[in-house]
């Protein structure tokens, strides 16, 4: 078994029904947070953690994501001719190495578990991999969520899930884990439950959308029956996997934005804008003016 996390799976085949009509013709992963598409922010996080290969699970109407991660010949030639060196360098710095991306189609939005299963041949059966849900932006004030998880993985092995606290009265809306030590940065998971009934959650730590999984998950997903919402649920297969292998919760201390929801998207734009030194002074002034008016 190869124990280096080299590959990341990024599922982008969902329909984005919470964000209509914006997502009718534009994939929600291509909506921008400041001047970068949501999915680019997630690739940035994965690259910073040392990921070398990106496996995108796509679907119909998502072709523009593939174009985004390719070079744009006419654009680059024009920038070069016009001497726009800074813009050109920025574009090239974002470009993944040739051969470092794979795109495979899910063929139908059958659920996150099914989307992950579609990566089985590209990941193979002898290396653990990262999984990042692109609509969940993890705004870190440190190394990055996935980078922290890979550090924890190097120490403990097994499977890892990023978690963060939510208010007790909201646990029924999330995947929740129970852990040995609620306060620890990394702690063994003792229970996993998808959307627990009110008052039954084992803790207030919710699954935030970053995972390191062993390839054993693929066999479990292959036999996984449809669960909540008639979809093949990743959590159901992770629960089965947790009977065979250890799972650890890795607490994320930064801010998380669900950009698949309208409020999360708006907040992410404000927060990421305020953290940019070229935009912060004017943006802050304008927000204050709006709030006063
Ligand atoms: P979501 O449930 O947030 O995405 O899935 P969605 O289905 O697009 O959103 P709504 O609820 O209809 O607005 C989390 C991630 O998993 C991907 C989505 O693209 C998203 O990035 N996903 C989900 C798939 O790739 N395939 C699926 O069948 C479901």
Structural domain contains residue 105: yes
| 114 located within any domain | yes
CA distance 86 to 92: 10
Per residue in 188-209, pLDDT tens?
Answer: 999 999 899 998 999 999 999 9
Ligand 1 centroid vs 134 CA: distance in angstroms? 9
Residue 153 lies in a domain: yes
pLDDT at position 241 is: 96
Question: pLDDT of 221-266, one tens digit each?
Answer: 999 887 878 888 999 999 999 999 999 999 999 999 999 999 999 9
Tell me, what's the pLDDT at 32? 97
pLDDT at 229: 80
Say what the pLDDT of residue 230 is: 86
Beta strand 159-165 pairing with 247-251: parallel
Q: Is residue 265 part of a domain?
A: no
* Range of the structural domain that residue 221 is part of: 7-161+206-256
CA dihedral 261, 262, 266, 269 (to 10 degrees): 50
Instruction: Identify the CATH number of the domain in which residue 230 sits.
Output: 3.90.550.10
Smallest CA separation from ligand 1 atom 1, residue: 14
Residue 148 maps to a domain: yes
Tell the residue nearest (CA) to atom 4 of ligand 1.
Answer: 14
Q: Is the pLDDT of residue 31 over 80?
A: yes
- What is the reported pLDDT for 232? 87
Q: How many domains does the chain have?
A: 1
The pTM of the full predicted model, rounded to 2 decimals, is 0.95
Q: Kindly state the average pLDDT of the residues 138-166.
A: 96
Whether 2 shows a pLDDT value over 80: the answer reads: no
Is 90 exceeded by the pLDDT of residue 44? yes
Among protein residues, the one with the nearest Cα to ligand 1's atom 15 is 133
Cβ < 6 Å from ligand 1: which residues?
Answer: 11-19, 57, 106, 109-112, 114-115, 133-135, 260
- Helix (H) / strand (E) containing 207: strand 205-213
| CB-CB neighbours of 80 under 10 Å | 12
Instruction: List the structure tokens of 154.
Output: 């190097």
Report the separation in Å between the CA atom of 113 and the middle of ligand 1, taken as the mean of its atom positions. Answer: 10
**Spacing, Cα 18 to ligand 1 middle (Å):** 10
Taking each continuous run of H as one helix and of E as one strand, the counts in the chain are 11, 13
Residue 168 has pLDDT above 80, yes or no: yes
Q: For 124-130, what is the mean pLDDT?
A: 95
In this prediction, residue 16 carries a pLDDT of 87
Q: What is the C-alpha separation between 157 and 273, in angstroms, rounded? A: 36
Domain assignment present for residue 275? The answer is: no
DSSP 114-180: HHHHTTHHHH-SS--EEEE-TTEEEE-SSS-HHHHHHHHHHHH-SEEEEEEE--GGGGGGSEEEEES
Position in ligand 1 atom list of the atom nearest CA 135:
21
pLDDT at site 291 = 95
Work out the pLDDT band at 137, boundaries 50, 70, 90: very high
C-alpha 31, offset from chain centre:
15
Mutate to test the pocket of ligand 1, among 46, 117, 260, 264 (most ligand atoms within 8 A of CB): 260
Query: For residue 224, what pLDDT is reported?
Result: 83
* Residue 282 burial (10 A CB sphere; 0-12, 13-18, 19+): exposed
């Amino acid at each position: 078994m190869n124990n280096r996390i080299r590959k990341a799976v990024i599922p982008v085949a969902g329909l984005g029904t919470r964000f209509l009509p914006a997502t009718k013709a534009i994939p929600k992963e291509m909506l921008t947070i400041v001047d970068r598409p949501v999915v680019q922010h997630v690739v940035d996080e994965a690259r910073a953690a040392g990921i070398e290969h990106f496996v995108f699970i796509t679907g119909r109407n998502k072709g523009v994501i593939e174009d985004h991660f390719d070079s744009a010949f006419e654009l680059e030639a024009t920038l070069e001719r016009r001497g726009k060196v800074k813009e050109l360098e920025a574009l090239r710095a974002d470009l993944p190495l040739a051969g470092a991306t794979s795109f495979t189609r899910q063929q139908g939005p059958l659920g996150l578990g099914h989307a992950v299963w579609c990566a089985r041949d590209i990941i193979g059966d002898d290396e653990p991999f990262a999984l990042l849900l692109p609509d969940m932006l993890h705004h870190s004030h440190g190394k990055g969520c996935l980078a922290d998880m890979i550090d924890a993985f190097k120490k403990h092995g097994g499977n890892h899930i990023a978690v963060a606290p939510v208010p007790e009265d909201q646990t029924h809306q999330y995947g929740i884990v129970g852990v040995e030590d609620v306060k620890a940065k990394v702690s063994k998971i003792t229970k996993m439950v998808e959307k627990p009934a009110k008052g039954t959650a084992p803790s207030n730590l919710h699954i935030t959308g970053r995972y390191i999984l062993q390839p054993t998950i693929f066999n479990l997903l292959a036999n996984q029956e449809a669960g909540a919402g008639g979809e093949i649920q990743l959590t159901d297969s992770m629960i089965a996997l947790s009977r065979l292998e250890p799972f650890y919760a890795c607490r994320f201390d930064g801010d998380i934005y669900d950009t698949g929801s309208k409020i999360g998207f708006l907040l992410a734009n404000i927060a990421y804008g305020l953290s940019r030194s070229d935009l912060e002074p004017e943006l802050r002034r304008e927000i204050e003016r709006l709030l006063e008016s």
